[in-house]
Chains A and B, each alone.
Chain A
């Protein structure tokens, strides 16, 4: 039954206005790995990744602005969480 999900393919169907150079979510340096693992599991956009060498990789482009990471980990792991500036970010055509 289980097929490995490819979230990037799903995100590619969405309309985004990426605010180049403005990350609206910034991780703390050396985030707590227990907290980070929660976000790997929870982020619907799969933005919280682990590289093969175990280092963290995060990019806020592709963010669905759902708020999960903010509620789940808040300032234990996030340096900054804000919405993208006006007009930028996800634009749901259907919702």
Chain B
């Protein structure tokens, strides 16, 4: 067993792990990050869009040097049925402050850059090593076992992602999260020339588009599709809730294929070349799945802690991961000052999170996961909106009806009571 004891060993070189390492090393702590992939980001994927605020407060001006793809200036939300699409399209040509900005990115490049930033300030990284076990003594975490070696540490930060096998070993996360709070995301990265992307998505130079789709992409199950434009590729994919997947008439890969072949989507990616196919579980339960976050000598961050917010028109995880990595690092620094790495000594993590947007936002949207479980949102409402649009825009020589009658007719199909109920629930949960 090594005699050296780190102030912190961090498991996982994703965003939470790299940020925690950066903050700790910058303050002079002795920190080691262990990553099972061959480089930071090699096991990670994202939809992917980063809201800049949390990293901006840690590394001001990061966007000038980080490998980002495009700055998002166009937001689109589409209600999609099998053969129609109704879109809300917002172009933001206003000046934004650096904390208001958001960017599309690819994790392979971005995570390596972030790891290099942490290395610059003194963090140590080992890649290609899987942590197999967390070492404990009298119930207190004292290090990790990786590839047969035992490494000692005063604290361990688990930044191991949405499937937290080590946190499960410690009993901090329940081994089987109910499948109804989890979703699976699948994505294709499709290469297209820069000019083609800018033409098809109506973008100036380095501007980008973030586009979400409710309705048919997930075959009427909870979930939806997404397209994010990168410099010379688009990230196209969907997220599908797992709770009713057993009765789905389509497999998840088939859903993605059908989404790509939708008459509205196909022209956008025509001629594109598939560069990579990726998938990952997405934690969708919000505050309901947040586990025990602090133990003796151990903290849980990022996706492993369930820090993800899907509120329908925005989907966030990376900015939460970054802020939670920072909070964990600050808690370890406090523990280091007091030389107390017990759960009590690390408890400032919990209060830092409570005071941050992470817990405030998760609490604000606490009823949303249940609301999103309502199937009407993913099959009946997109159809209703499409039917109204079709009636409005169809001129076939038959006598016209007043618009309100047309709208009421389609609302009646869903049921007025349902509309009122869902309307109230929807408004109160966002």
Contacts and interface: CB of A to CB of B under 8 A. Distances in A.
Interface in A66-92: 66-68, 70-72, 74-75, 82-87, 89-92
Interface in A33-86: 34, 37-38, 40-46, 64-68, 70-72, 74-75, 82-86
Contacts of A86: 36, 128-130, 146-147
Contacts of B276: 13-14, 92-95
B311 interface: no
B428 to A, nearest CB: 29
Contact of B245 (A14, A72, A75, A85): A72
Interface in A5-50: 5, 7, 10-11, 13-14, 17, 34, 37-38, 40-46
B179 interface: yes
A85 B36 CA distance: 7
B179 A72 contact: yes
B277 A95 contact: no
A41 to B, nearest CB: 5
A8 to B, nearest CB: 10
Chain A interface helix/strand/loop/mixed: loop
Contacts of A45: 253, 279
B258 A68 contact: no
Given A44-B184, A74-B176, A83-B165, A13 B274 contact: yes
B277 A10 contact: yes
A2 B216 CA distance: 13
Contacts of B186: 44
Contacts of B42: 91-93, 95
Contact of A41 (B162, B177, B251, B258): B251
Given A34-B246, A92-B107, A71 B182 contact: yes
B246 A37 contact: yes
Given A1-B82, A92-B45, A67 B280 contact: yes
Contacts of A66: 184-185, 279-281
A73 to B, nearest CB: 8
B277 A87 contact: no
A37 B182 CA distance: 18
Nearest to A71: B182
Contacts, number: 157
Which interface class (under 10, 10 to 19, 20 to 34, 35 or more) fits A? Answer: 35 or more
Interface string B249-271: 01111101110011100000000
B43 interface: yes
B111 interface: yes
B46 interface: yes
Contacts of B426: none
B248 interface: yes
Given A87-B38, A92-B41, A95-B41, A41 B279 contact: no
A41 B43 contact: no
A92 B106 CA distance: 10
B400 interface: no
Contacts of A92: 41-45, 107-108, 276, 278
B161 to A, nearest CB: 8
A72 B281 CA distance: 10
A66 B184 CA distance: 8
B175 interface: yes
11 contacts: A1-B83, A42-B252, A43-B251, A64-B278, A67-B163, A68-B281, A74-B176, A91-B37, A92-B41, A93-B275, A95-B45
Interface of B: 36-38, 41-46, 48, 82-83, 106-109, 111, 128-130, 146-147, 162-163, 165, 175-177, 179, 182, 184-186, 188-189, 233, 240, 242, 245-246, 248, 250-254, 256-258, 261-263, 274-281
What are the 5 A-B residue pairs with the smallest beta carbon separation, nearest first? Answer: A95-B107, A44-B279, A67-B163, A10-B277, A5-B257
